[in-house]
Structure 1
């Protein structure tokens, strides 16, 4: 998905978040259970930007509403190759986001680095959800 790729390459977290559907499902390469919702997915993506260095997309394959964005990056001093599998809904927002990485050493480095980020990720997601709930309450008054 061109817009997401451009947002990531610009490290524009607001633009990345704006492309997420409210009920987006994020499937991590290092967690068993998918994460559901815009707030937690956006927080995970911000965390990823903090742990990836020398990130670059190398190829994009598009088939209707589905895209595969192949990337290379580093986690610490470990080289990682991966792919973002993105599905968009009729409204153009991302409904499914699955990440796969290799080699195993890279997945392990990513799991460790994201694990160190996870308290911050959960705090950011919780704050975003609270802000959204307050905005909705304010609009209904």
Structure 2
């Protein structure tokens, strides 16, 4: 497979908010490393598909802006928004010998966008994985975290701006 093909399908899937299209770019044993936690990874096409089905509808107006390649490694950058908050994501993709994406590491900024994403994804992922009690608890925990991040971003950090 052409090394450009999988990356192009991955990008198109993101921009079209089409999880099924994005999954066609993935190796069967793909690993996705979350920007939220080091406690677990999403392993295999099925787990990544579930994550994409929840994440892609939550993020508006995904537009890839940059792509950098070095051998089988690709860095992608996009801009979007979540509930009106600007979001920037960097993705490190590692391609397998067959050209499919074998590993994805995600990085998201600013912090309020990440915490808002966490508050949107966590409950739905818990429901899909059969953990309804956790799905009810997660909005409380992630809501408090998002409140602190948003307050810091809008009220505290502006006071530390260079003069």
- TM-score scaled by length of structure 2: 0.69
Work out the number of aligned pairs and report it: 123
TM-superposed CA distance for 1:116, in Å, is 2.6
Closer/same/farther in 2, CA of residues 121 and 90 from structure 1, 3 Å limit: farther
Contact 1:86–1:94 (Cα < 8 Å) also in 2: yes
**TM-score for both structures, normalised by structure 1:** 0.79
Q: Any gaps of 5 or more consecutive residues in structure 2?
A: 1-6, 131-163
In the alignment, which of 12, 15, 28 is matched to residue 18 of structure 2?
12
Higher RCO, 1 vs 2 (CA within 8 Å, ≥6 residues apart): 1
Contact 2:73 2:92 in 1 (8 A): yes
Q: 2:30 aligns with which of 21, 24, 30?
A: 24
Q: Report how far residue 68 of structure 1 moved.
A: 0.9
Q: Which has the higher strand share?
A: 1
The two structures, once aligned, show a CA RMSD in angstroms of 1.6
Task: Report what 1:86 is aligned to.
Answer: 93
SS in 2 for 1:29: coil
Residue segments in structure 1 that go unaligned for 5+ positions in a row? 124-141
Between Structure 1 and Structure 2, whose CA radius of gyration is higher?
2
Residue 102 (structure 1) shift: 0.7
